[in-house]
Amino acid sequence: MYKILLLLLFVTAAPYAYGQLDSLSKEDKRLLDSMFNNDEFIKLMMGKKRSSFEVRVTGGNQLLSTNNNNANTGESKSSFALIPAIDYYHKSGFGLTLSSFLASDSGQFRPYQYAVNPYFDYYGKTVNLGFSYTRYIFNTASRFSPNPFQNAFYGNFLYTKFFLEPGLTIGYNTGKYTDVFIVNNIPRKLEVKLSDFSLSPYVLHDFHFYELFSKDDGLKFAPSLSLVAGRQRAKAPGLNNPRLANFPILKTILKNRFESDSKFQVQSIAASVTLKYLYKDFFIGPSIYFDYYLPATTYKRLTSLFSVTAGFSFY
């Protein structure tokens, strides 16, 4: 049933598409091309940016990652988070984003995590590319559990020539955490190293609407459908200590508790819808993401992420 709902969610975008019924003259085509090449507002809507400085805040249940929703769905999303961010983008394609993750603590929103995110975006005639690295820094004064991933690498490829644009995202996260186990009534610390790799082919189409209420506004509507494959590993190097060879039963128990290595497999089918309304330098829009887990599991299969982002861009 959930699979059908996800498919219907994507298909509902179809009524918004329409073709040009009347043929255009050469002069009409020239004027249309000139408008798309020179109008700065249209460039912004289509993703062809100028150098800019952006201030924004996102509210939702994306508690872990700002780029990779596949990583977000692997965590519990019972809490609401605010993510204020500042972003500088240079027209060469390079940019830097600084973010702070805040959650409610004793009735107040307090930071529990920070992120530094350098990135590069390329917008070509038929291909868009994006690469980013994110370093997550945990606030040790927070009572929230630390993010197990400290490093996140993310890449995106999109071929824009077709109406349904095919793309591919690649995500790789690494991190570590320290846990405690008891031997002879003595607590001992054990460091566990984690890695998460995901590969996700997808299709999308952006719908753009201009001059809805004035000549200075526009709306971007972007539905997408994707298939998510991945592999997760947990390794505890400390279990190779020769001393543990004298305790084979204990070593087996610790390995079962702290170590795991899943095979690379198709994990879920996902759908998302993003809206972005722009008026001059202001923008606002919701985003919703559904992920339906495919392998056998005793946990719930459907995960949903919802957020709203608002901010200002300065050029």
Model pLDDT for residues 245-269, shown as the tens digit of each residue: 777 888 888 888 889 999 999 999 9
Q: Are strands 165-183 and 151-159 parallel, antiparallel or unpaired?
A: antiparallel
pLDDT tens-place string over residues 288-310: 999 999 988 888 889 888 999 99
What value, to the nearest 5°, has the Cα angle with vertex 273 and ends 270 and 97?
A: 95
From 151, 194, 149, 153, select the one nearest 171 (Cα to Cα). Answer: 153
C-alpha span between 149 and 136 (Å, rounded): 7
User: 310 to each of 12, 84, 133, 189, 276, how far by Cα in Å?
Assistant: 25, 10, 23, 43, 9
Q: Which helix (H) or strand (E) holds 41?
A: helix 40-46
E strand intervals along the chain: 52-60, 81-89, 94-105, 108-123, 127-138, 151-159, 165-183, 186-204, 207-210, 217-235, 260-261, 265-279, 282-293, 302-314
Higher pLDDT, 187 or 32: 187
pLDDT tens-place string over residues 106-131: 778 889 899 999 999 999 999 999 99
The proportion of the chain whose per-residue pLDDT surpasses 70, expressed as a percent, equals 78
Cβ(226)–Cβ(271) below 8 Å: yes
From 81, 47, 76, select the one nearest 61 (Cα to Cα). Answer: 81
Average pLDDT in the 160-178 region? 94
Where do we find the tokens 């020179």? 38
C-alpha span between 203 and 224 (Å, rounded): 6
Confidence of residue 70 (pLDDT cuts 50, 70, 90): low
Q: What is the pLDDT of residue 206?
A: 92
Q: What is the pTM of this model?
A: 0.79
Q: What is the pLDDT of residue 56?
A: 97
Asked whether the predicted pLDDT for residue 23 surpasses 50, the reply is no
Q: What is the pLDDT of residue 153?
A: 96
State both tokens at 191.
């460091």
pLDDT tens-place string over residues 200-248: 999 999 999 988 999 899 999 999 999 999 999 999 998 887 777 777 8
Residue 180: give its domain's CATH number.
Answer: 2.40.160.40
Where do we find the tokens 């190779």? 240
Residue range(s) defining the domain that contains residue 308 = 2-15+24-314
Q: What is the pLDDT of residue 250?
A: 81
Report the number of distinct structural domains present in the chain: 1
